[in-house]
Chain A
Amino acid sequence: MVTPAQQSPDSEMTWRRKLSDVLDMFAFPLRTSHYVELVNPLWSTHQMQAQVVDVWDETKDARTITLRPGVNWRLNRPGQHVRIGIPIEGRHYTRTYTISSPPERNDDCFTITVKIIDGGRVSKHIVRNIKVGDYLPIGLPQGDFYLPDASPIQPLFITAGSGITPAMSMIRSLVAQERLPDTVHIHYAPHEFDVIFSKELRQLAADKEQYHLHEVHTQEFGEEKQTRGYFSQEQLDKLCPDWKERDCYACGPPGLLAALEGVWEQAGHSRRLHIERFLADFAEIPKDAVGGKVRFAQSNLDVDADSETNLLRIAEDAGMNPPHGCRMGICHTCNTKLLSGCVRDLRTGEVLNESGAMVQTCVCAAAGDCELDL
């Protein structure tokens, strides 16, 4: 027998579904949500929106944007990221950013913290031009870089630059839950005024004896070049002697992450190292790799592609607008069926050639001729 408690979520879902189907008949061929959106964009259900409610400069080139998400938002697990649509000069871009706030925030808002990437059009636009009151389309929190719920662990956070964002969400969440364990945090930044969340981190280090913060400044004022303080095993042994007993959560530029992987692998502790990347780390492309003719079956387009340019870019350059999100192989919005031929996953170098396989077009390139269901 089914108890009412078990039954209700399901029947409520179908009941709501049926109601919205009937309501949509009034709005055909649109949906009721398209009209609800006119009253308040945050109430729309066909495309979740978020309103910018605050902006705050963390450093000279990094800004925290506070967003109030619309209905149907799902709380993030600390460390997860979210897809955000940004219009720039009339064109729509989609990027993925880590949520820097903990789910325990009590104002139903969340924050992202964005640092300007050199030559990055979207990051620059977010940091400089997004205004309070703007509405941005968003996705739901995603990603598997988060702390386990149950097992008590002693974390070691190694972060650099804006790589601090997922760690910040985790630390804030642990503090909010009043269950911050003994924690070591090594953070790399050019110099002391370039530390995102510096005030909060330093305050935390002063207040909580179980939180050990080590800021490493890779640059002195007045110096032209970055000269000191890069990650090394000696430095790690010095700052955190018991690192082998800890679970390490790391986020930062590819160079740092590669060094970490080397150290942990040598120590035989790879399983305790958890990494979040900003950019997909690409495998070396073999010298004999060739591109080929890409066929987009649904669009009935044939395009030539080389062996390094991702297929998403190839499609966009051909004038198509296939679905996509993070552009770094994590969100799977761009998943597309491979109908025939062969593609290479640029991250692993692995070659996919089974027809019917799912291809992440943003991180795969042609390896000979191929046909995609786009």
Chain B
Amino acid sequence: MATRKPLPVDLTDEQIDEFGREMESIYDDIMKSRGESDRQYILGIIRTQRSMALIGRLFMYAGLFFLPAWSHALAGWTATLLIMGLGTVMLGTAKILENMEIAHNVLHAQWDWMKDPDIQSNTWEWDTMSPSDRWMHSHNVVHHTWTNVLEKDLDVGYGIMRVTPLQEWHPKYLPQPVYFLLLMLFFEEGVALHEQALIDVVEGRKKASEFKPLAKRIGRKIWGQVRKDYIMWPGLAALVAVPISFFVPESPLLVFGLVAGANFIANIIRNIWAFMIIFCGHFPEGVYNFTPDQVEGESRGQWYLRQLLGSANITGGSLFHVLSGNLSHQIEHHLFPDMCSNRYPEASQRVRAVAARYGLPYNRASLWRQFGTTWLKNLRLAFPGGRPQPEVARA
């Protein structure tokens, strides 16, 4: 083990083991105390999310009755866009809740302990283009095991970006500020195509035909999503608008376009928010990356330590934490991926105190600081060089 490059901390292996034991006792305490109130929490969130999605879509439809063509007292573009806008924000928020606080956490098996047949990691399918089981592999297995390890964790730059000076610069990283913006807008599509197999095909290690069965599965999921948001809901509105158009001079095509557009914007709202929260998890200033030789033969304590050094929290109120899927407690989520998310705030209190006692950094700051430094780093690292991470991590 002597040849292994140590983690960037000034703790002995024994001290790191003790750190690991402290983490485990926090985990055990909280896991043992799970009960009815946790079940009520997730059931409440699911009910809220589904109601919000439904009401949001009904608001979009309601807005159509205020198109100028109706020529009643309240009709006009302002009223139409206001009501549809409200519906759009509600649908966007519902999608955020579904993807982040519900599905992400259900797929982490955080709620499997309830043994509720409807809320199980192996059967949950989420409201996004990526099929659940594909995502579970690339995320739960690859990313959570190999957090922030170069060449191992696909999420380090997603194969297209340079997020740490440890990655060697290459001219292909020059356009990464553009990728950054594109990925922010089309995060859902990006996640669906975030597959090692696809990268292998692009880089010529695999034949395209080997990717085909997988592409078919992903394609079917994408089709289901597209059909819902861009055919069924706008289509129904347009269908109803056809007979109405004999009496009210409004075009069914316009109606179709408005609903499809509102759904598109709701998806973009979700994409931008999810992208911001998720990029704040591992890319802000002060987060550590690791090389494969640092994690070889890693102990449990070292694994915990790497999760702490490799993640960053975002501060905010309780509503903010829920909307971020509690990924604002990214450190706790990485330490305890299968702990139900509503318990991360209390775990966070204890982890922070342990980190302070061990003189370890606990990366925690506002959304603006975390996302700001993430963006700046992205711009800076498009060019050669960049400030290397400190040799030793200290609080």
Residues of A bordering B, CB below 8 Å:
25-30, 34-35, 38, 47, 85, 87, 89-93, 137, 319, 321, 323
Contact = CB atoms under 8 A, between A and B. Distances in A.
B36 A28 contact: no
Contacts of B299: none
Given A47-B118, A89-B35, A92-B117, A26 B125 contact: no
B114 A92 contact: yes
Given A25-B228, A26-B233, A323-B117, 4 more contacts: A29-B127, A85-B117, A91-B114, A319-B112
B39 A90 contact: yes
Nearest to B236: A26
A92 B224 contact: no
B20 to A, nearest CB: 21
Interface residues of B, number: 29
A90 B36 contact: yes
A89 B32 CA distance: 12
A300 to B, nearest CB: 12
Interface string B199-228: 000000000000000000000010011011
A93 B114 CA distance: 9
A89 B125 CA distance: 26
Give chain B's interface secondary structure class: helix
B248 interface: no
> Which of A30, A47, A321 is most buried by chain B, counting CB atoms within 10 A of its CB?
A321
B115 A321 contact: yes
A89 B115 CA distance: 12
B389 to A, nearest CB: 37
A331 to B, nearest CB: 14
Interface stretch (B47-55, B253-261, B288-296): B47-55
B39 A34 contact: no
Contacts of B383: none
Given A25-B227, A92-B114, A321-B115, A35 B38 contact: no
B168 interface: no
Contacts of A47: 117-118
A200 B37 CA distance: 40
B34 interface: yes
Given A28-B224, A35-B54, A89 B116 contact: no
Contacts of A85: 117
Nearest to A87: B39
A29 B35 contact: no
Contact of B51 (A30, A38, A87): A38
A90 B34 contact: yes
A92 B115 contact: yes
A27 B227 CA distance: 10
A34 B37 CA distance: 22
